[in-house]
Amino acid sequence: MTDTHINGSVHDDILMTPTSPDSDFDVLPTDHTDLGDSDGLSPGEGKENEVFDDPKVIPFRTIHNTPLKFKSPQRKVFIPNEDIQVKIVDYERSVTTHLLNPNLYVIQLTHGEFTWEIKKRYKHIQHLHQQLKIYRASLNVPFPTKAHRERRTSFRNDLASSSGDKKAKRSALPRFPNKPEALVPYEDVDKRKEQLQDYLNNLLKIRLYRNHHETVNFLEVSQLSFVKELGDKGKEGPILKRTGSTRPGQGSCNFCGLLDSSLCIRCKYICTDICGKWRNRWLFVKDTYMGYIRPKDGSVKCVLLFDGGFEVSSGIYTTSMSRVLQITNLSRQLVIKCWTRRKRKEWISCLKEIANGKAKEFTQKNRYNSFAPNRESMRAAWFVDGCTYMAAVADALESAEEEIFIADWWLSPEIYMKRPALGDTWRLDTILKRKAEEGVKIFVLLYKEVELAMGINSYYSKQRLACSHPNIKVLRHPDHAKAGVFLWAHHEKIVVIDQTYAFLGGIDLCYGRWDDYNHRLTDLGSVSQTLGPFLPSRRKQTSSRPLGEANHPHSLLHLAVASNVVSLGALGGSSPCLHGSLPLGLGLKAKAQIGSVSSCSFCSAHASEETEETTDLEIPEPPPLQRTVTMASPAPDLVASEMPLENAKCDTPTMERRNIMDKVRQTTENAKSKGKEWIHWLYQSTDFDSSDEETQEVESGIQIAEPVEYNGNIPKEERYINEDMPPADGEIMRYHSSLRNSVVGLSGMAKLWIGKDYTNFIVKDFQNLDLPYQDLVDRNTTPRMPWHDIGVMVQGAAARDLEKAKFSIPYPYLLPKSYNNLDNIKPVLLTPVRSVDCQVVRSLAQWSGGFLEPDTLEEGIHEAYVDIITNAKHYVYIENQFFITLASTSTSVRNQIGEALFKRILRAHKEEAVFRVFVIMPLLPGFEGEVGSPSGRALHAITHWNYSSICRGKEAILNRLKEAGISDPMEYISFYGLRTHSSLNGDPVSELIYVHSKLLIVDDNIVICGSANINDRSLLGKRDSEIAVVLKDCEFDDGVMNGNPYSSGKFAGSLRRYLFKEHLGILDARSPNDSIFDVRDPIIASFYHDTWRQIAAENTRIHEEVFHCLPSDRATNFSTLKKLQEEVPLSISDRGAAMKLLSGVQGHLVCLPLEFLKDEVLTPNAVTMEGIMPTSLWT
């Protein structure tokens, strides 16, 4: 039948003449114009101008369109310009149970790439026909509504335009067979099938009726049916849902909230049975989940994943009603009522088929009892330190087209993802806002902290993000009072892009995490550094001495400072010390609000202590119209028009201004030289010369390196690539070298760490996070604490598993994509990716995952660690923030990591095999406070449990190995930390590198990377919620293991070698010892003893001799610790000798001092706040 072929007589017959009651057919108009609405619209929203990239596919982004109620005329669910083919493939006849409608027809429908079946009786088709007749008749009635008038006008105009066509015949019209089904004999059933099939095919060619809500319901489709990325068209249909069934006790009568307190579980069910109501819902089933839509507004109101707890049951004994079925998974329960028992059976059959078929990998028991299966041949990449990780996340965010999902323990909206901060382009909140404005939907899940215990201010983060654009949705969890959870946290760090690219690891998108392999201690900028020579030598505030010491400035120091102020004024500086750093390009006005009231901590040391408290100003976002640069000499690429107008003296003659400035410069140069003479008089001269690339003189101006894009052609002199290096390492080194080059040559006022991002949290914990550009510590006296961390990226099915890992939170309802068509994923990053087998594992419990049963939990990360360590063949490499794991007999610590290590080492000893365990961890826990003082109680508590697991007490692993007959456990297992040194205002300084990684590498073949620490909090499942991936290499390079040829995984092996090079200081091609170290073989004695352990021991000796840093084996108790702190270190007494010794430091690797405070009881006193807290808080 062609479109709109209606002649005049037929037109009159349609509108004026009713069908004969004796006829087998009823006639409907043939017009299939959409009456003012285009059929090529997105499902759920009438956007006439929306154009799809592929006209034969409904894109995934349409699921986020504004939902429309099911009866809305603007609701479109079908693929534009695609016909629906109908074929009745079978029927079931039963004249005993259905006298009037004995035939149940199996109707197969095809629409584009989608095929599905529905079962209907004649009465259902007849009901559809009658409803459409009523709808057609309503078009002739002039209802006083604008929409109805437009519909009638369009209908009449279209019929009038087609009335001149004489070729249309009455037989071409859709005709409905009126003959009752009971009168159709058995031998005529095939003919009736053809009649109904022709009727439906002709009807569905008329868009006016195809898009009608009655037709849509008849075909059992919705706005989610034909979205390709949601998977195949599953079963759908109307049902009745009982209120309060999704989560028992939350609906119907709840006795004023008493039932939420679980006073009586049985009462919940009884109350729901009595007071529950039945609501109309539209149930749908997809490949790995099911859910329902509320018809009155078209919104998705529930999503249930197929998981290990999925069950479907029915019957009077289960539900007390015959047409009711109960659907349950680990976190939801759904009770629905069907219209007939046949429908109930259909739903049960469909759900069981999906659960045992497409969703089997989620409903069956998986390795490590994980919710997710092992995925073969996934693509993955690793990132060491925040520089490469955040840059990759920023690039992936920029490529997002549909969705961004972020789950984070802490998120700082003002964090810069790429450094140096050239404007606000790569600031996190700016990136998210930019993508939201492009239509990308952004969902952020933040841990809601206990405000009295933590200062991460998730409320500020939520408000800052959620208020920037409606497409950004932020949820904080848990509600502590309601959930009764005060000690545990959501500790995951996840970023998922378009459900295709997923990032995870230990790196939060927050302050203090950005760092690179240099692990710089200072970030002053050239303007601030000019004060360095004028400041008196004094101990800096570090983790070894968080409080520093009192200042005793020389009587002539103010003269030196004054001369420097004049110099800065002449050279364009805005203040004598600008430790309150701002992003490059921030205006002077904003700078005045933040840091220009007081100069530096030294200048204000003797001022009122209320200064810091009274500067609690509300700092707005940097004004985009006032961006300028404070510099010594203007950069050539900055024009005068970029300078703020309020700073220009327009009424000053040019020549006169030039003469004045010349005189000022001449005067200040003399004053500056005098100032230097005073400093030489105040201090003895030394041979010390700062080599820090950030401590340049003011005269150097601003020289910012342009970002370098990786093209595979980095010059060899700029990278460390050994000719014997495996191919995987060479490719990765080129990529990382390209990122490092982007910050080379940074000088002037440009800084890498802006405001709160410059931190040393042992010296001072975070506060006033709503003032992001106000420094937390004084940069002139406090080196930052470097941060070492690891992250990974996985693609494809593993990325979709990761988003499901945090899917239990009820809002927003994210719809998982199908696992089909994941072969051709376009690359979004320049970093090399490797083929690995990947499995997502997690730690999850009732409070964090919403499980119905309180004893349900997952500890897949723990099980993976134990299994992989047990089966290790050559070595285990661990980087972790904690090492709290005791013997299996311990009642205080229950995780089995230490037990697995102990058994594996004991087995190697009995077999006389070479086996190594490397453990790298922080030298001190990351808590504010000073060791040996009351402020360090929390620090002491973590130190106690770490050392109890390593070397103190009968349950410590080293002591257990000695008792088992291993005279030197260090032959098998050794513990290390990381430390670096630099110069700050002319003084040598040292600080520990905080190891925040959560990494396990085994045999250059297997990697576990995620957010879980080695302690009970992370591993037992019922405390903190965590996420990790288990990665096993599928591609290999030629390697060496204990002197023998070995297949080294391209992913695990390259990551291990990179870390070894970073810790040993040979990533930089300019290192003089490049040719000495061969890190390919990690267990051979020549490397393990003569290189790795020897370098660590020498670095430890030098740092302790120069700085008297803590922790130290010399401080076995608080008394010796105090004496050590009172001694003047070589870094102060003889800087020349100190620098000579420090030149012998190789890399960052140092030994963990096992004798530190061994004679002290470090557990908190019972009368202190820390002592009152349960032991589980620390373990």
Residue 192 corresponds to which tokens in the numbers above? 């009736």
Burial class of residue 1078 (count of CB atoms within 10 Å of its CB; 0-12, 13-18, 19+): middle
| C-alpha–C-alpha distance, residues 390 and 510, integer Å | 10
Find out whether 1066 and 1074 touch, Cβ atoms under 8 Å.
Answer: yes
Q: Band of the pLDDT at 482, cuts 50, 70, 90?
A: confident
Residue 1102 corresponds to which tokens in the numbers above? 């030098």
pLDDT at residue 409 in the model: 95
Which of 65-69, 663-667, 766-770 is predicted least confidently? 663-667
Tell me the pLDDT tens digit for each residue of 1012-1054: 999 999 999 999 999 999 999 999 999 999 999 999 999 999 9
- CB contact set of 986 (below 8 Å; sequence gap of 6+): 532, 533, 535, 537, 688, 690
The better pLDDT of the pair 1024, 96 is held by 1024
Which of 6-20, 835-849, 1146-1160 is predicted least confidently? 6-20
Tally of CB atoms within 10 A around 50: 16
What rounded mean pLDDT belongs to the chain?
A: 78
pLDDT at residue 696 in the model: 35
Three-class SS of 207-226: HHHHCCHHHHHHHCCCCCCC
pLDDT at 688 > cutoff 80: no
Q: Mean pLDDT throughout 294-317?
A: 90
Which of 106-115, 162-171, 503-512 is predicted least confidently? 162-171
| C-alpha–C-alpha distance, residues 438 and 432, integer Å | 10
DSSP element (H, E) containing 381? strand 374-384
3-state secondary structure of 590: helix
Among 235-249, 326-340, 729-743, the range with the most confident prediction by mean pLDDT is 326-340
Tell me the pLDDT tens digit for each residue of 1117-1150: 999 999 998 999 999 999 999 999 999 999 999 9
Q: Mean pLDDT throughout 658-670?
A: 51
Q: Mean pLDDT throughout 196-205?
A: 92
State CA 22 to chain mean position distance. 68
Find out whether 1155 and 1113 touch, Cβ atoms under 8 Å.
Answer: yes
Q: Band of the pLDDT at 22, cuts 50, 70, 90?
A: very low
| C-alpha–C-alpha distance, residues 988 and 981, integer Å | 7
The better pLDDT of the pair 773, 560 is held by 773
Tell me the pLDDT tens digit for each residue of 337-347: 998 999 999 99
Question: 352, 123, 124: which is closest to 235 by C-alpha?
Answer: 352
Structure-token match 């004084």, residue found? 778
Find out whether 996 and 512 touch, Cβ atoms under 8 Å.
Answer: no
Burial class of residue 1143 (count of CB atoms within 10 Å of its CB; 0-12, 13-18, 19+): exposed
Tell me the pLDDT tens digit for each residue of 817-837: 999 888 788 888 888 899 999
pLDDT at residue 134 in the model: 87
Question: 756, 1085, 781, 771: which is closest to 914 by C-alpha?
Answer: 1085
Q: Mean pLDDT throughout 249-272?
A: 51
Residue 997 corresponds to which tokens in the numbers above? 């990684």
pLDDT at residue 832 in the model: 87
- Please state, in angstroms and as integers, the Cα–Cα distance from residue 1077 to each residue in 975, 1005, 1060, 1098, following that order: 20, 22, 10, 16
Q: E-strand spans in 470-608?
A: 472-477, 493-497, 501-505
The better pLDDT of the pair 262, 741 is held by 741
Among 442-446, 694-698, 725-729, 1164-1168, the range with the most confident prediction by mean pLDDT is 442-446
Q: What is the CA radius of gyration of the chain?
A: 36
pLDDT at residue 182 in the model: 87
Q: Mean pLDDT throughout 703-720?
A: 35
Q: Mean pLDDT throughout 583-612?
A: 38
Q: Mean pLDDT throughout 703-726?
A: 39
Tell me the pLDDT tens digit for each residue of 544-591: 777 765 444 443 344 343 344 333 333 344 333 433 444 444 443 343
Tell me the pLDDT tens digit for each residue of 1043-1100: 999 999 999 999 999 999 999 999 875 544 455 789 999 999 999 999 999 999 999 9
| C-alpha–C-alpha distance, residues 831 and 790, integer Å | 15
Q: Band of the pLDDT at 150, cuts 50, 70, 90?
A: low
Q: Band of the pLDDT at 636, cuts 50, 70, 90?
A: very low
% pLDDT > 70, the chain: 71
- Please state, in angstroms and as integers, the Cα–Cα distance from residue 611 to each residue in 120, 130, 561, 614, following that order: 79, 80, 21, 5
Among 491-505, 652-666, 691-705, the range with the most confident prediction by mean pLDDT is 491-505
State CA 827 to chain mean position distance. 19
Which of 160-164, 193-197, 291-295, 1067-1071 is predicted least confidently? 160-164
pLDDT at 161 > cutoff 70: no
pLDDT at residue 546 in the model: 74
Q: Mean pLDDT throughout 1156-1176?
A: 89
Q: Band of the pLDDT at 932, cuts 50, 70, 90?
A: confident
Residue type, 615: T
pLDDT at 626 > cutoff 60: no
Q: Mean pLDDT throughout 389-408?
A: 95
DSSP element (H, E) containing 194? helix 189-203
Tally of CB atoms within 10 A around 1009: 26
Structure-token match 């450094």, residue found? 419
The better pLDDT of the pair 858, 252 is held by 858
| C-alpha–C-alpha distance, residues 415 and 87, integer Å | 58
pLDDT at 845 > cutoff 80: yes
| C-alpha–C-alpha distance, residues 562 and 603, integer Å | 11
pLDDT at residue 152 in the model: 62
pLDDT at 322 > cutoff 60: yes
pLDDT at residue 1101 in the model: 96
Structure-token match 């992936």, residue found? 396
Give, as one character, the DSSP assignment of residue 1168.
S
Tell me the pLDDT tens digit for each residue of 440-478: 999 999 999 888 778 899 999 999 999 999 999 999 998
pLDDT at 648 > cutoff 80: no
- CB contact set of 558 (below 8 Å; sequence gap of 6+): none
